Chains A and B, each alone.
Chain A
Amino acid sequence: MKRVLLLSILSLAGCCLISDFTHAKAQQSYKIIVNLTNRTSSLTRKAISKMFLKKTKKWPDGQKALPVDRLSKSAIRAEFSKTIHKKSVSSIQAYWQRQIFSGHGVPGLEKRTEKEVLDYVRAHPGAIGYVSKNAKMDGVKVLTIKK
Chain B
Amino acid sequence: MIRTTTPFFLTLLSMVLLSGYARGQSKLQIHGYLTQAYAFTDGHQFLGIPDEGTTDYRTLALQFGYALDDNSKLVIQFSHRRMGLSPVMAFEHDVKLDWAFAEYWFTEAIAAKVGKVQLPMGIYNELRDVGTVLPFFRIPYYTYGEGSWASETVDGIVLSTYLLADSPWNFDVSVFYGGWDTIEAGDPSVPVRAHVEDGVGGQLWLNTPVDGLRFGIEAHRSTVSGGSRAAGEKSRATTWTASVDARLERFTFQAESFSYNFGDGSWRSYYAYAGYNINEKLRANAQVDVGRLKLEINEPFFSASADANNRDFAIGFNYKLSPSLVLKVEHHWMKGYLVDDNPPDFFTGDPVKVQYTIIGASASF
Give per-residue flags for B309-338: 1 if the beta carbon is below 8 A from chain A beta carbons, else 0. Answer: 000000000001001100000000000000
Q: Are A88 and B249 in contact (CB under 8 A)?
A: yes
Give per-residue flags for A75-103: 1 if the beta carbon is below 8 A from chain B beta carbons, else 0. Answer: 00000000000111111011001101111
Q: Are A109 and B280 in contact (CB under 8 A)?
A: no
Interface centre among A58, A91, A110 (most CB of B within 10 A): A91
User: Which of B24, B75, B118, B133 meets A109, CB within 8 Å?
Assistant: B24
Q: Are B127 and A101 in contact (CB under 8 A)?
A: yes
| A104–B77 alpha-carbon span in the complex (Å) | 13
| A121–B126 alpha-carbon span in the complex (Å) | 34
User: Which of B23, B70, B75, B280 meets A103, CB within 8 Å?
Assistant: B75
Interface check B13, CB cutoff 8 A: no
Task: Take A17-B278, A86-B211 as given contacts and tell me if A110 and B23 are in contact as well, using a CB distance cutoff of 8 Å.
Answer: yes
Q: Are A91 and B324 in contact (CB under 8 A)?
A: no
Q: Are A101 and B63 in contact (CB under 8 A)?
A: yes
| A64–B71 alpha-carbon span in the complex (Å) | 11
Give per-residue flags for B106-135: 1 if the beta carbon is below 8 A from chain A beta carbons, else 0. Answer: 001000010001100000001100101100
List 28 contacting pairs A-B, 8 Å CB cutoff, sorted by A: A20-B279, A20-B280, A55-B165, A57-B108, A66-B25, A72-B323, A86-B211, A86-B249, A88-B249, A89-B323, A93-B324, A97-B130, A97-B132, A97-B133, A97-B324, A100-B63, A101-B31, A101-B33, A101-B63, A101-B126, A101-B127, A103-B77, A103-B113, A104-B126, A106-B29, A106-B31, A106-B65, A109-B25
Interface residues of A (CB under 8 A from B): 13, 16-17, 19-20, 55-58, 64, 66, 72, 86-91, 93-94, 97-98, 100-104, 106-110
Interface residues of B (CB under 8 A from A): 23-25, 29, 31, 33, 61, 63, 65, 70, 75, 77, 99, 101, 103, 108, 113, 117-118, 126-127, 130, 132-133, 165, 211, 249-250, 278-280, 282, 320, 323-324, 364
